[in-house]
C-alpha cells in the first residue's frame, strides 16, 4: 500500500513538472531553457550534458534536449534521492 501511495505521489509530481514545462516551452529545449526549468546555471547544464547524465541531441555544436529527456533526468534524480 505504501508503495502504491509513493508511486501515485511520484506520478503527480511528474505531472506537475510536465505541466509547468508545457507552458511557455517548446517540445525541444535549449541549454538555457533546461537551466531555467531545473534552476541550474548554463555551465552546470553543459556539465551534465557532457557527462551523459542528461540525454540530449547534438545538432552541429548545439545541444537540443527533448522535454522527455528532462523528465527522465528528474525521475532518476528522485529515485537516487530515495536510496
Q: Where are the domains of the chain?
A: 2-82
pLDDT-derived band at 76, boundaries 50, 70, 90: confident
> Strand 28-29 relative to strand 57-59: parallel, antiparallel, unpaired?
unpaired
Average pLDDT, stretch 62-79? 90
Q: Give CA 9 to chain center in angstroms.
A: 17
The residue among 51 and 79 whose pLDDT is bigger is 51
Assigned fold of 2-82:
Recoverin; domain 1 (1.10.238)
Confidence band of 1 (pLDDT split at 50, 70, 90): low
Whether 55 shows a pLDDT value over 60: the answer reads: yes
pLDDT tens track for 6-35: 566 666 666 666 666 667 899 999 999 999
| Model pTM score | 0.74
Amino acid at each position: 500500500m505504501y508503495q502504491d501511495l509513493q508511486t501515485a505521489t511520484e506520478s503527480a509530481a511528474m505531472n506537475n513538472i510536465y505541466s509547468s514545462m508545457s507552458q511557455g516551452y517548446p517540445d525541444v529545449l535549449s541549454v538555457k531553457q533546461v537551466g531555467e526549468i531545473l534552476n541550474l546555471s548554463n555551465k552546470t547544464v553543459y556539465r551534465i550534458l557532457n557527462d551523459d547524465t542528461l540525454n540530449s541531441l547534438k545538432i552541429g555544436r548545439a545541444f537540443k534536449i527533448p522535454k522527455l529527456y528532462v523528465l527522465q533526468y528528474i525521475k532518476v534524480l528522485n529515485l537516487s534521492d530515495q536510496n
